[in-house]
């Protein structure tokens, strides 16, 4: 028995200290913090609300009719795997956030000739579905594409600077403060 313990101790002597798993092993070595760092957990609903508030604040500060639709933009972006700032930025670029919308189409979708949306929410859903690749008729342009590629197909083929312009607006939405 002693022979086996001796052999085990020889083997363990060569195992690096940090390779030994331990539940109680924790340290602030190298940290300048006096107190240990505490984890802050933010719920998904809180993150959604913060994004929606950011969008609505941007629209409100510019007296844009799309003010109040922030949560719709966020939920549609999540549903279709889009950047949360993309659809609001397109609406700003195309219609100044609804100021120059053709009916309830603040996106200029189909040169304002293809769809007569019943509401802004319906338009946001429809454009989100298209840009997210959920419409079989337009999926070849948008499904699996990067944001820049989506913007290229959305209007960049006509206006080469369009993708960069929308990305700039996306950045403005994100960094906007009241």
164-172: long-range contacts (C-beta < 8 A, 24 or more apart)? Answer: 165/93, 166/86, 166/89, 166/90, 166/93, 167/89, 169/85, 169/89, 169/92, 169/93, 170/83, 170/85, 170/86, 170/89, 172/58
User: Nearest CA to 54 among 34, 74, 36, 37?
Assistant: 74
Tens digits of residue pLDDT in 91-142: 999 999 999 999 899 999 988 776 679 999 999 999 999 999 999 999 999 9
Half-sphere exposure of 177 (CA within 13 A, CB side): 0
Tens digits of residue pLDDT in 144-174: 999 999 999 999 999 999 999 999 999 999 9
Residue 14, pLDDT above cutoff 80: no
Q: How far is CA 91 from CA 24, 38, 107, 109, in A?
A: 53, 40, 5, 10
Domain segments of the chain as ranges: 45-175
- What mean pLDDT comes out for the span 42-59? 95
The per-residue pLDDT of the chain, averaged, comes to 85
* Sign of the alpha-carbon dihedral angle for 126, 131, 135, 138: positive
The pLDDT confidence band at residue 6, using thresholds 50, 70 and 90, is very low
The CATH class that applies to domain 45-175 reads mainly alpha
What pLDDT, on a 0 to 100 scale, did the predictor assign at position 118?
93
- What mean pLDDT comes out for the span 70-79? 98
User: Nearest CA to 81 among 148, 37, 145?
Assistant: 145
Rounded to whole angstroms, the Cα distance separating 74 from 47 reads 10
């Amino acid at each position: 028995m002693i022979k086996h313990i001796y052999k085990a101790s020889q083997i363990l002597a060569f195992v690096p200290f940090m390779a030994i798993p331990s539940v109680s092993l924790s340290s602030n070595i190298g940290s300048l913090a006096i107190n240990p760092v505490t984890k802050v957990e933010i719920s998904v609903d809180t993150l959604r609300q913060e994004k929606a508030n950011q969008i609505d604040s941007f629209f409100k500060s510019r007296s844009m009719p799309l003010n109040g639709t922030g949560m719709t933009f966020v939920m549609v972006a999540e549903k279709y795997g889009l950047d949360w700032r993309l659809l609001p930025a397109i609406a700003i670029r195309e219609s100044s956030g609804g100021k120059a919308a053709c009916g309830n189409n603040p996106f200029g979708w189909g040169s304002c000739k293809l769809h007569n949306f019943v509401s802004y929410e319906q338009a946001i859903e429809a454009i989100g579905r298209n840009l997210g690749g959920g419409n079989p008729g337009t999926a070849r342009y948008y499904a699996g594409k990067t944001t820049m590629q989506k913007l290229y197909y959305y209007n960049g083929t006509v206006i080469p600077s369009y993708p960069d312009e929308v990305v700039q607006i996306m950045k403005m939405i994100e960094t906007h403060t009241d």
